[in-house]
Structure 1
Amino acid sequence: MSKVSGITNTRAIKALVFDMDGTLCIPQPWMFPAMRKAIGLEDKSIDILKFIDDLPTEEQKEKAHAGIHKVEEDAMNEMEPQPGLSTLMEYLTSHGYPKSICTRNVITPVNYLVSKFIPANCRNFDHIVTRDFRPTKPNPDPLLHIAKQSLLSPSQLIMVGDSMDDMRSGRTAGCVTVLLKNHVNGHILQDHKEFVDYPIDSLLEIIDILKKLNMESGEVN
């Protein structure tokens, strides 16, 4: 196989990992500015979770976490599924692809999305990694953890996301990276295209990617 944006050899894809916010559900670009406002973080170059971790007292940390939890709760109540989500989940389930979620969110919105927007027969996620797992994305550790627990090589995983954190985490771990494009993440392909193996406009395109990669590897699923 010829090299495609960092993929130097083909192995059959055995499992998929999905980001949640902006990937399994419609982007809510107001959410992160609201979080920063809630905790008084004006410097956009500083990661929200790192800022909270570095606060000097436990009381300040608890107050900051409460602030972003309120924003996440509001976002959860406005959550809408990505187009094609149910169809993709049905395909993965019927073809025996294990699937996981890797998010910097907490578990409550994840459970809400799964129970509300994913068909009942497709709700079995092998691993759900939230921000309780440290270090979080953009570090590769969450994906390496999922690969290890799944007894797979990271190169046998697809990381699907909509942010630079997702792409950097996936690329550093050694996964195939799929970027779900939207109206606010165009800069990733413009400035950091080396982190993206497959840019897509719809979750349904993942089905064709799976067929392509597994056909080229000699394994048809």
Structure 2
Amino acid sequence: MSRVSGIKHLRNIKALVFDMDGTLCLPQPWMFPAMRKAIGLDDKSIDILKFIDDMPTEVQRNKAKEGIHMVEEQAMNEMEEQPGLVELMRYLTINDYSKSICTRNVITPVNYFVSKFIPTGYNLFDYIVTRDFRPTKPFPDPLLYISKQLNVDVSQMMMVGDSMDDMRSGRSAGCITVLLKNHVNGHIMTDHKDLVDYPIDNLSEIINILEDSNKK
């Protein structure tokens, strides 16, 4: 674990914001291709949510939303927690760090995951921002909203995720960015490492980052 970008001096972190899919839970690489197939989107360069928003009729938009909801329901039933998840949530709770979630998913899978995989007492999140909040990641707006609600400067917030959307959102908002590496996101460290402050292999490594920040 090491800092990559050197863009910002690490200040005392007060709040952490987590992506869910691929971050709090293990990656499900089949999910997004299945969503694209469900709504007839072949062009991988087009954002799924934007594609649905740009559909000409409400009937088409509702049908597409039903399609991705079916995929998300299957993904929810197959969720597995990331290694180090409970250890980190326990540490954050005991040490009074703010915890929030920022996801492009809907609230039902989030509530399911939090209640099933994080023990009671460690599973309280200050804010859960889903795709109902617009604009979504990769825009900074969801993180700026959380920062404002918490009255915490963005430089004292940490965005933890596994995707380009997470890193772009965190970087543009001014947060410390933490990339949870996996077997499908290696291109981020190869091509866009300027977006990443800390690459990690296990969520529990964040504990060391936080303890180091408190020594400064």
TM bin, normalised by shorter chain, reads: over 0.9
Equivalent residue for 2:32? 32
Secondary structure of 2:121's partner? helix
- Kindly report the root-mean-square deviation, in angstroms, between the aligned alpha carbons of the 2 structures: 1.0
Given the alignment of the two structures, is residue 170 of structure 1 paired with residue 173 of structure 2, yes or no?
A: no
Give 1:214 deviation, angstroms.
2.0
Shift of 1:28: 0.1
Q: What residue in structure 2 maps to residue 55 of structure 1?
A: 55
Q: What residue number does 2:90 align with?
A: 90
* 1:42-79 deviation per Cα after TM superposition (whole angstroms, max 9, x unaligned): 00000000000000000000000000000000000000
Q: Kindly report which structure 2 residues correspond to 1:112-191, keeping only aligned pairs within 5 A, or say none.
A: 112-191=112-191
In the alignment, the residues of structure 2 paired with residue 188 and residue 82 of structure 1 have an alpha-carbon distance, to the nearest angstrom, of: 20
Is the deviation greater in 146-155 or in 9-18? 9-18
Cα distance in 2 between the residues matched to 1:169 and 1:117: 26
* 8 Å CA contact 1:101, 1:125 repeated in 2: yes
Deviation at residue 9 of structure 1 after TM alignment: 2.8
Contact 1:7 / 1:176 at 8 angstroms: preserved in 2? no
Which position in structure 1 is the counterpart of 2:16? 16
The match for 1:219 is none
Please state whether the residue corresponding to 2:159 is helix, strand or coil. Answer: strand
Higher RCO (C-alpha under 8 Å, 6+ residues apart): 2
Say whether 1:110 aligns with 2:115: no
Distance 2:57 2:80 in 1: 36
In structure 1, list runs of 5 or more residues that go unmatched. Answer: 217-221
Whether the 8 Å CA contact 2:4–2:193 is kept in 1: the answer is: no
Asked if 2 retains the 8 angstrom alpha-carbon contact of 1:38 and 1:68, the reply is: yes
Alignment of 1:188-207 (within 5 A): 188-207=188-207
Q: CA deviation at 1:6?
A: 4.7
Normalised TM-score (structure 2): 0.97
- Which residue type is aligned with residue 108 of structure 1? T
How far off its partner does 1:99 sit? 0.2
SS in 1 for 2:36: helix
Q: CA deviation at 1:174?
A: 0.1
Letter in 1 for 2:141: D
Q: Which amino acid aligns with 1:42?
A: D
Cα distance in 2 for partners of 1:202, 1:10 equals 20
Contact 1:158–1:178 (CA<8 Å) still a contact in 2? yes
CA distance in 1, matches of 2:134, 2:189: 27
- Matched residue of 1:7: which SS? coil
Q: Secondary structure in 2 aligned to 1:122?
A: coil
SS of the residue 2:165 aligns to: helix
Deviation at 1:107, TM superposition (A): 0.1
Q: Which residue of 1 aligns with 2:66?
A: 66
Q: What CA distance in whole angstroms lies between the structure 2 residues aligned with 1:202 and 1:152?
A: 26
Is there any run of 5+ residues in structure 2 with no aligned partner, and where? none
- Count the aligned residue pairs: 214
Aligned equivalents of 1:102, 1:175: Cα separation in 2:
13
